[in-house]
Structure formats: C-alpha cells, structure tokens
C-alpha cells in the first residue's frame, strides 16, 4: 500500500512538472545575428542579392530610421541606422538571388551545436507593396518555405519585427533525436532567403523594395559531444 502511495505521489509530481513547463514561456538563446547595413556585422554572413546601404546611397525616410532611438533589439548591439533592400533598383523582376530574393548565411557554432528554433526579421512595411516570403535551408539542402507576410496597404512607414518559428528537422538532421542512429554531422551553416513578392512600385528604380534592418537566429545551444552508440541487442 505504501509503495502504491509513493508511486502515486511521484507520478503526480511528474505531471505537475510538465504542466508548469507547458505554461512557462520558452526562452531561446541567440545563435547568430547580422545587422544589415553594417559592413562589420555583414562580413561573416555571405550576403547575396542585397541592394546598397540605405539611406546613405539614395536618401529617403525609410521609416525615420536615421533618427531612431530604439530598433527593436533586446541585446546590446547599437542600432546602426542603416538597411538594405532585398529587391534592389538594378535587379530584374524575377524570384531568384540577385532578383527579388536576397540571402544571408548563419553559423550554428563550432564548440556547440545550435538547434535553430526561431528567426526574427526587422522589416519595413512602407509606401511600396512590401509583401514577402521567407525560406530556410541547411547547407547543400533544399529550400523550405517558413513564413509569408501580407503588408499593410496604407502608405505609412512602419518597422515591424517578425518572429518566425523554425523546425530543426528541416535544417539540421542531427538535431532530431535519436542522434546516434543518424549518419550526419551538425551542419555548421544554414541559409535564410527573403523574397519580395509585392508588385513593383513606381519608385523602385531609385529606392528598390523591401527594406531589412537586422536578422536574428535563436534556439538551443548544446555542446558538441563525442557520439557514443547505444548497444544493439540481437
């Protein structure tokens, strides 16, 4: 009887623990970050298909970015008051890199394996039709569509931080348990593509379209440990 009571208490405690975890917000850690428009930050992120740094190149208001006191960052980076567009004024109206799409590469870490769970993008919803789609892929893999945004049709310029949930099985096969059953390495890099899907506006030839301020990759960070296979019983 006593054993049954103890077992009941233990089971109840386990379920209570799961209930608390389910109600608690999950806090992810930063895996990597790029401040678009800041050459020092961009240098290690292999940017492709982006327009020139704005507003330094063509002027313009860009959601009053030059006078911002805060740019939506919770980490200590200073706002660089700069951006680039994904669909530049000299690029063709075509859904490829160096067309409407721009990409950036993130590193998952060398001393740890980054488990990508969330992507944050600060984008300008401005005068143009700033609809866009987001794609991700692991190095050498295929693109996965993870997000679509339909912009506000008004002409007000508003910076918005988009939080996008990611699924590790599409990015890093080693992040799917059980790891020891898979012949894989923790991929060191993933690529993010942002595709401008709105109709080309009448000032595209000057400013381009779809301004991006910064992109942040978040998730779990775990040390890379030697793989020890479990014994297989015949």
pLDDT score at 26: 65
pLDDT score at 164: 96
pLDDT in tens, 128-182: 999 999 999 987 788 999 999 999 999 899 999 999 998 766 665 555 444 443 4
Q: Which domains does the chain have, with CATH numbers?
A: 26-68+81-223 (2.60.120.260)
pLDDT score at 107: 86
- pTM here is 0.80
Whether residue 122 is predicted with pLDDT greater than 70 in this model: the reply is yes
Whether residue 2 is predicted with pLDDT greater than 60 in this model: the reply is no
pLDDT score at 193: 97
Whether residue 230 is predicted with pLDDT greater than 70 in this model: the reply is no
3-state secondary structure the chain: CHHHHHHHHHHHHHHHHHHHHHHCCCCCEEEEEEECCCHHHHCCCCCECCCCCECCCCCCCCCCHHHCCCCCCCCCCCCCCCEEEEECCCCCCCCCECCCEEEEEEECCCCEEEEEEEEEEEEEECCCCCCEEEEEEECCCCCEEEEEECCCCCCCCEEEEEEEECCHHHCCHHHCCCHHHCCCCCCCEEEEEEEECCCCCCCHHHHCEEEEEEEEEEEEEEECCCCCCCCCCC
pLDDT in tens, 74-95: 765 678 899 999 999 999 999 8
């Amino acid at each position: 009887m006593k054993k049954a009571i103890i077992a009941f208490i233990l089971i109840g405690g386990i379920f209570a623990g799961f209930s608390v975890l389910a109600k608690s917000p999950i806090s992810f850690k930063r895996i990597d970050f790029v401040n678009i428009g800041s050459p020092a930050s961009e240098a290690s992120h292999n940017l492709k298909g982006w327009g020139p740094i704005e507003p330094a190149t063509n002027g313009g208001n860009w959601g009053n970015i030059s006078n911002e006191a805060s740019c939506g960052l919770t980490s200590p980076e200073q706002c660089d008051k700069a951006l680039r567009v994904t669909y530049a004024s000299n690029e063709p109206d075509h859904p490829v890199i160096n067309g409407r799409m721009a990409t950036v590469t993130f590193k998952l870490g060398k001393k740890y394996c980054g488990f990508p769970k969330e992507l944050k993008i600060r984008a300008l919803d401005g005068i143009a039709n700033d609809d866009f789609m987001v794609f991700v892929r692991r190095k050498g893999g295929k693109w996965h569509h993870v997000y679509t945004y339909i912009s506000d049709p008004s002409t007000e310029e508003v910076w918005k931080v988009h939080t996008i949930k990611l699924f590790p099985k599409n990015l890093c096969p080693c992040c799917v348990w059980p790891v020891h059953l898979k012949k894989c390495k923790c991929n060191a890099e993933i690529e993010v593509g942002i595709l401008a899907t709105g109709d080309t506006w009448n000032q595209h030839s000057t400013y381009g379209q779809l301004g991006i301020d910064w992109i942040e990759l978040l998730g779990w960070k775990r040390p890379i440990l030697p793989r020890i296979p479990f014994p297989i019983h015949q």
